[in-house]
Amino acid sequence: MATNNVKAQHPGKLLRLPMLAALLLTSAISAAGETHYYNVNVDYALSRLTVEARYNHPVDSITARSRNAGKFLLDVRGCDEDTNIRIRNRRMMLPDDGIRCLKYTIDLERAAKEYRGARNLASENIVVSPSLWMWRPALINDTEIRVQFQLPEGVQVSVPWKSLNGDNTRYAIVDSPESASAPAVFGKFDYREITVPGSTLRVTMLSGKSAMDHAAVANWIRATATDVSLAYGRFPNPSPQVVVVPVSGARGGTVAFGRVVRDGGETVELLIDPEGDTAEFFTDWTATHEFSHMLLPYLDSRYHWISEGFSQYYQNILLTRSGAYDAQTMWQKLYSGFERGRKSHPELSPNDATDRSVRSSRMKVYWSGAALALMADVTLRERSNGKETLDDVLDRLQLCCLPSSETWSGPEFFTKLDTLVSEPLFMPLYRRYADTAGFPDTSDIYARLGLTIADGTVRIRRNAELESIREAMTVTHSPTARWRDRLAADD
């Protein structure tokens, strides 16, 4: 009854509802594809970073990704000087009607100390993640931020973002999975653009307290990225950032650590011992493993057993195709990895294993997905008489969907792969193994491939049922194969 009275007294409100809906729709459309502009100034001493941000429309929410970002702000205000802006945690408290222009200054020198490898770097270069200094609105509906760096003479910048027209001071930031905090490098460093099939890698080699053999590092990166192009003829990302960081006293060889970050772009960060034996670069698997991650989209942390496993599988396959491993070495490494995975928490399923500490269930996480990748690859080859492979499926995935701005679930990923093959394969594997305690059984596939096990050692026998498939898996007809041999010789 009260509702009827309101209708009678305010008939205009009902007439204006379609108009209001239209205005809201127009507002939503105008938000799509908008561009904000950031002008970033860095001083010669690498002590201060000043930003002027101009927004496409008044924005009412500006945040930084890191909760620590606020403590590095030296000054923040609206461009009209009268706007009072306070900071609460990692959020700027803005006027109710929003803001169109913002100026702020960052204590860059102090923020640089947050980087875990800072103590190993020479004073001429620093690493400060954008999560500490990039305060921005949300990147939704195809919104992007265009950044122009103003740098003193001799100072460079390296960021994961898309370069505009090949200009290393102008970039575009778009939405991304934000899997971790990407590095941004400022200062004087060795920057090279390394071309491999399908990609130009933007490589930054930082200066440390010990001299780095830049030529050897560049050859190694070219070789390992070329390894990954052997999957389907090209590198999966057309222009990733690669950052090489020196570390002293590294354990485990010349290559200490590697990781992939999907934050505003795709970055591979490699930590190396500059005093190590450079010959070890060409026998190490770390970079090939990290680059192989780019064959897949970023998967949610619960499904890292899939992304890590596919990278484990491909690092071994590709190192064999490139000539770094022989077939015996590859099949032994896969078998030994499967055994470590089988013995790791047999009471857990792969999905369960990712909920535990990485240390305690690491082998199950790293090798369960590799077993499924092997099963899928062999099945595809067998049912198509060698005309379709896992390489082909990932090739189609890259053409349609990579690099991806989304975070995928395991079922989403496998469902997508099933749309790229003639009949479902990947989701049936997922349903069979993802939530099943134990480890995928690869013994039958090994036997059919002609791989026998004696006292933990793999032996390759001839005249096996799937011998032709076994041989085809490690052969490549790419003219870029064996680059490792030539580059190691050049070094």
Query: Token match 């100026």: residue?
Result: 103
Domain 297-490 has CATH 3.10.620: no
Judged by average pLDDT, the poorest of 8-17, 63-72, 283-292 is 8-17
306-310, 445-449, 473-477: range with lowest mean pLDDT: 473-477
Taking only the tens place, the pLDDT of each residue in 26-77 is 344 344 579 999 999 999 999 999 999 999 999 999 999 999 999 999 999 9
Distance CA 192, CA 265 (A): 18
Whether the CB-CB separation of 199 and 164 falls below 8 Å is answered with no
Question: What pLDDT is attached to residue 8?
Answer: 34
Domain ranges of the chain: 33-117+133-174, 189-295, 297-490
Return the structure tokens found at 360: 């305690």
Average pLDDT over residues 12-22: 39
Whether residue 482 is predicted with pLDDT greater than 60 in this model: the reply is no
pLDDT tens column, 387-406: 999 999 999 999 999 999 99
Whether pLDDT at 4 is above 50: no
Q: Looking at the predicted structure, is the pLDDT value of residue 477 above 50?
A: yes
**pLDDT interval class at 14 (50, 70, 90):** very low
C-alpha to C-alpha distance for 84 and 197, rounded to whole angstroms? 52
For residue 357, what pLDDT is reported?
A: 61
390: which 2 tokens? 């896992």
44-53, 84-93, 413-422, 429-438: the lowest-pLDDT one = 84-93
DSSP H or E run through 460:
strand 457-460
Give me the pLDDT at residue 449, please. 98
pLDDT-wise least confident of 74-88, 329-343, 402-416, 473-487: 473-487
pLDDT 10s digits, 84-127: 899 998 999 999 899 999 999 999 999 999 999 999 999 999 99
Considering the chain, what percentage of its residues have pLDDT values greater than 90? 82
Q: What is the distance, to the nearest Å, from the Cα of residue 359 to the centroid of all Cα atoms in its chain? A: 21
Note whether 316 and 374 are within 8 A (CB). Answer: no
Q: How far apart, in whole angstroms, are the C-alpha atoms of residue 231 and residue 476?
A: 9
CA 349 to chain centre: 25
- Is pLDDT of 268 > 70? yes
pTM here? 0.90
In the CATH scheme, what is the homologous superfamily, with its name and number, of domain 189-295? Neutral Protease Domain 2 (1.10.390.10)
pLDDT at residue 376, rounded to an integer: 98
pLDDT of residue 18: 44
- Predicted confidence at residue 20, as pLDDT, reads 41
Band of residue 80 on the pLDDT scale cut at 50, 70, 90: confident
Q: Give the DSSP H/E element, type plus range, for residue 67.
A: none
State CA 430 to chain mean position distance.
23
Residue 336, classified by CB atoms within 10 Å of its CB into exposed (0-12), middle (13-18) or buried (19+), is middle
The 10s digit of each residue's pLDDT in 305-355 is 999 999 999 999 999 999 999 999 999 999 999 999 999 999 999 999 998
Does this chain's domain 189-295 share its CATH topology with 297-490? yes
